[in-house]
Amino acid sequence: MTTIDDLPIRDDLRGMSPYGAPQLDVPVRLNTNENSYPVPDEVADAIGKALQAELRDLNRYPDRDAVALRAALADYLGHDLTTAHVWAANGSNEIQQQLLQAFAGPGRVALGFTPAYSMHPLLALGTGTTWVDGYRAADFGLSAAHAVEQIRKHAPDLVFLCSPNNPTGTALDPAVVAAVLDAAPGMVVVDEAYAEFARPGTPSALEVLPGHPRLVVTRTMSKAFGFAGGRLGYLAADPAVVDAVQLVRLPYHLSSLTQAAARAALSHRAALLGTVEAIKVERDRIVSVLRSRGLDVADSDANFVLYRVKSDQKTAWRALLDRGVLVRDVGLPGWLRVTAGTPEETDAFLNAMEELPQ
Phi and psi at 159, nearest 5°, equal -115, 130
For residues 224-231, average pLDDT: 96
- Cα angle, residue 245 at apex, residues 239 and 247 outer, rounded to 5°: 115
- pLDDT (tens digit per residue) in 111-136: 999 999 999 999 999 999 999 999 99
Which residue, 134, 116, 99, is CA-closest to 243?
Answer: 99
Least confident of 1-15, 88-102, 243-257, 287-301: 1-15
3-state SS class at 82: coil
DSSP 171: P
DSSP reduced 3-state for 133 = strand
Give which of 100, 227, 237, 84 is closest to 160, Cα–Cα: 100
Return the CATH number of 21-39+274-355, one of 3.90.550.10, 3.90.1150.10, 3.30.413.10, 3.30.1490.20. Answer: 3.90.1150.10
What number is the average pLDDT over the span 29-39?
96
Query: Does the pLDDT value for residue 58 go beyond 80?
Result: yes
Please state, for a pLDDT cut of 70, what percent of the chain lies above it: 100
pLDDT, tens only, 306-357: 999 988 999 999 999 999 999 999 999 999 999 999 999 999 999 999 998 7
Q: What is the pLDDT of residue 18?
A: 84
The pLDDT of 22-42, averaged and rounded, is 93
Fold equal for 21-39+274-355 and 41-267: no
| Residue 147 pLDDT grade (very low, low, confident, very high; cuts 50, 70, 90) | very high
Residue 16: predicted pLDDT: 84
Would you say residue 216 has pLDDT above 80?
yes
User: Above 70 in pLDDT, residue 86?
Assistant: yes
Question: Is the Cβ–Cβ distance between 136 and 113 less than 8 Å?
Answer: yes
Would you place residue 24 in the very low, low, confident or very high pLDDT band (cuts 50, 70, 90)?
confident
Please provide the average confidence, as pLDDT, over all residues in the chain.
96
Give the pLDDT band of residue 358 (cuts 50, 70, 90): low
pLDDT value of residue 265: 98
CATH code linked to domain 41-267 = 3.40.640.10
d(CA 226, CA 219): 13
User: Which sequence spans correspond to the domains of the chain?
Assistant: 21-39+274-355, 41-267
Summarize pLDDT for 179-215 with one digit per residue, the tens. 999 999 999 999 999 999 999 999 999 999 999 999 9
